[in-house]
Structure 1
Amino acid sequence: MKKILLVPIALLLGFYSFSQTQVRYLDSLGQTLHSLSEANQLQAINKIPYDKFVGDVRTSENLFFKGVDLAIKLEDSTTLGDIYLKLGQIYAYKENFEKRTEYVLKSIKIYESLGKHVKAGIAYGQLGYNLKYSDMENALRYMRKGIKLLEQEKNTTEIDPLYDNYGIVLTINKKRDSALFYTKKSLNLKKKLKDSVGLGYGYANVATVYADDNKLELAKIYIDSSSAVRTKIKDSYGIAVNYTHLADVLLKQNLFSDAIKNYQISASLAKKGKYKGLERYCYESISNAYVQMNDYKQAYLFGKKFQTLKDSVLNIETSNKVEQLKIEFETEKKENEILLQRADLAEKERDISEKNSFILGLAGLAAVISLLGFLVYNQQKLKNKQLKKEGELKEALVKIETQNHLQEQRLRISRDLHDNIGAQLTFIISSLDNLKYGFKLPDNLNVKLETISQFTTSTIYELRDTIWAMNKSEISIEDLQSRISNFIEKANTSSDAINFNFQVNKEVNSNKLFTSVQGMNIYRIIQEAVNNALKYANATVIDVQIFSKNDDFELIITDNGTGFNIKDVTDGNGLQNIKKRAHDLNAKLDIISSENQGTKIHVYKFENT
């Protein structure tokens, strides 16, 4: 086991210098561009090696956008297609799937219009590889199309990585024999071409196939070979990935502690390199490893880190789709229940009619008048019951239709907020960052830009909270607990000097439901109180507690800060907002504070909850 860990330790010692080398390469390029002609600037940007631009995706993204502007100005369509394809790779690493696909498709359109079959084949291969987890059928189709184009042109240099990626997609599709054929075929081509960058990927991809087939010792051998190559060429992303490859193998061998160490190193390197997908995968794998070790506390902590990274624009869109499917399922379920109730009513009506006929035959002529009276009364009673049931069923249908309509409106509004306002706010932040990093600005102007950026970021978080509430017709205690935990986790991260405590007592009914408005008001009261304590109270401890007393839901937020004299203080926006939201909840509110004694905010006796 010690032998296995030697390579990762050596890689870790060298990684930071490797990463700095790549950053220096891009920074140096950015500084020298202004001394070149526009045509030479464009070529210099387009020639940035793959291992260099994935080592610093943020700087590379800015350089490639500069290249797009130059290519359009110089009417250089081929180079424009090349840079679009590289932007697609950048956004794949940044997990912006919409932009990833957008730029790859742009490159394909340009190459096909120019008759550049080799380049079109490469782009089709990248498009297919991008779809490997979301659309396997089209992933295989696009990759085969790319391979066919390159084989027709007999281009062994460019087809090499496409064979490699195709092998990985086949591995995911559990076609291991075919996967091993293509990955080894690619590896042999890399050796012939002396492709130093590609060799690291080639060895690693063969290792992935062997690991998936549980041939773990073979997998380790190929991982070691990949690590040696990547260390030599200073491939920072590849080094980070190799920790994960080794950890996956160790996990399959039930060597949980060693696997976790390698995942943690990979996550640290991924965070530094801004490889969010890799970082998220490591946290999820660590959480699963701790579950297998029965250490549920650590599993929960790393699971939260995984969920924090997972919470993104894509998550909001995916949640909307899942919610829509849920609505359709629930509607169908209720309609089936209504049909069953109607059938049951009809069956009961037939049974009663048969019994009445039988009684009428036995009773004879002497009881005809009384029986007719009874039957008329009984039939009317049944009719009234039936009418009542049908009325209830109609009301239930109308209610379902209204709920569906309201939910569709919520989803449409939330999508509009996200797609329009959210995108515009994100553009503002991106523009401010470009101003700060692209121009030398006075310090006071930098401070103002930073303030605007922080305010805009805060607005995006508030917008996400609003969309979260809008997408739910009801909010449970678990929903609130999860949302509040995320908020306090972020507050805790940004304020190391403050100790945050959040507790939901066991007596709180986990099945209790609030409306979306009630849930949002409770969340905002906690958020406002914590923010006030952070900004004005100089507190070192902030406690948030949710508990139940005599079947009533209660909320207490306390801090040990400077406090204030309630009689002498005019309500600011924070206290006014808390009072207004408590009023909207029909709840009672006590604010207890005195100078140097901290502050306690108590919300209780919620009505209609």
Structure 2
Amino acid sequence: MKFTIKSFFLIAFLLKAFLSFSQDVLTLNNEAMSSYKLNQKEAIETLKKALKIAKKSTDSLNIGRTKNNLAIVYRDLGQYKKSKELSNEALIMVKEDLIKASIYNNIGACNRKLGLYEEAISSYFKSLIIYEAKKELAKTATVNNNIAVVYSYLNLNVKSLEYHNKARIVFEELKDFKGISQSYNNAAIIYANEGDLEKSLKYFKYSLQLEKKLNDKKGIAESLNNVGSVHYYLGALDSAVYYFEKSAEMERNVGNFAGVSASYNNIAQVFLENKKVKKSKIYIDSAYHIAKKYNVNEDTENALLNYVDYYELQNENKKALNYLKKFHHYKDSISKKSNLKLLQEVETKYQTEKKEKEIALQKEELLEKEIAIKNRTLHAIFLASALLILGIIFFGIYKKNQYKRKQLQKEINLKDALATIKTQNRLQEQRLRISRDLHDNIGSQLTFIISSIDNLKYISKDVNDTLKDKLIGISTFTSETIHELRDTIWAMNKSEISVEDLHARILSFVEKAKIATQNMLFEVNYNIDKNATFSSLEGMNIFRVIQEAINNAIKYAEASKVEIILDKKENQFIASVIDNGVGFDIKNVDLGNGLSNMEKRMSEIKGKVAITSQTNKGTNVSFSVLIKNTSNDV
């Protein structure tokens, strides 16, 4: 058959619907069983709805689970035949052990209430085997309690106490107060049957105390009935009636009519003892009617016996005899006579099955462990191989991408370098062209102006001194302009200016200054790598600022010595012009345009200017700027 996309979506849709149905059924089951003790009718309606959904999905597990839960609710309502019927239907559909164990336990409870004690024991032991194998301690203890109750009905008190004690020990370890209460309650019944009424009353009251703490109305009702029974046997008839009536009222409130019939039978017996015959008849009729309606065999039998006592007290012996016959006929019809040999065989079978089950489980566990170890080993090998292959693939991809990135980065770097070189070449060509123009045109024109002025001085010997001074001034200014132009051309001819170039230029300027100021000593020092470089703009601005500082020292300081220091601190180039002249008070002196020009030049190259001076102690003008390139540090 060809598998199509349409088929795939159909299967996916059906699977989704199945899972949705299963979830709905599970939710409804949980909702019903969490609150069924408070409202059995509502729980039944919820479970019927869940069963309807489960049948639509044909999910046998959910159908069986829901039927079992319905059976439990019907059992607590006293409808034992219906409960047993549902449990047997559930048993056919369910394969899961724990649900099977719950079903067997419920069937055992129904058989016990129906007077089928051998069948009850057999069902309980089937449940017990599964719970013990699965190590479900609380549920194992509950089933042990149930088995003990059946042995108690059969007057096998020693056996009954044995199972009650087993259950009690587990419940106490688990701190399961409901289970502890049940164990004490059941043990109290046995002590009552053996005639130890004081001990029985003590156990019943302790059970009642626990039920009240748990606020379990059904459990409280049962314990009240049991306390009343012991008071009856002790002869405290008023107390007995009080407890029986309280029990009946609570049983009616929770909807447990089987418990109501038991309490009514007990009240009837008390009234018969007190010769309150008419009152007893009302309770006997009610007990018999409820017991027959809800198939409570034990209470039906007790009601029949109460009728016998009632008619004997009324001296209606014929009617008393008829009810006695009814009693024996009813007792025989439900096969209440116990077959002790059969019970022993059932328990022996249980012990054998238990051991066989334990051996089978041990073998199964060993096999599962071996398979699990093999699977883990295979999974580990497979996972390691997959991770290794993936690792190799990813490593190869990573190395390939890394190589591509490196190649791409090299290409980008090469393009950037070429673009930078081209830009630098263009800029250098422009600088050279501008510097040639300045040198050839403006330089030659300025030289021509100087020559013309010198000729005018010789030609015009008779002109007044004022005109001669002006001509000399123009000649001097023009000469200075030529020097500054040469400095500018020097800077423009270089893409970078090294510290060595700057130092040489400063020395050249200082030599000229020495000629102009014959009585002033100049000293140039530098403590910086010669290969440290600046851009042409930085170099030109630094030189101009130093030149301005030296000129200021010559003009205003009246100094005998000027020291120029070139230094480096960390990544900062620092130039200082220090004189020993008259100095000044910085706060009270206007520094004028000179400082402003220096600050502008330094700000262009992101540098700083600092001036320190004291009167008669000289002046220090410092300049600092970031060095971008150095080949090594000093």
Q: Tell me the TM-score normalized by structure 2.
A: 0.44
Structure (1 or 2) with the larger CA radius of gyration: 2
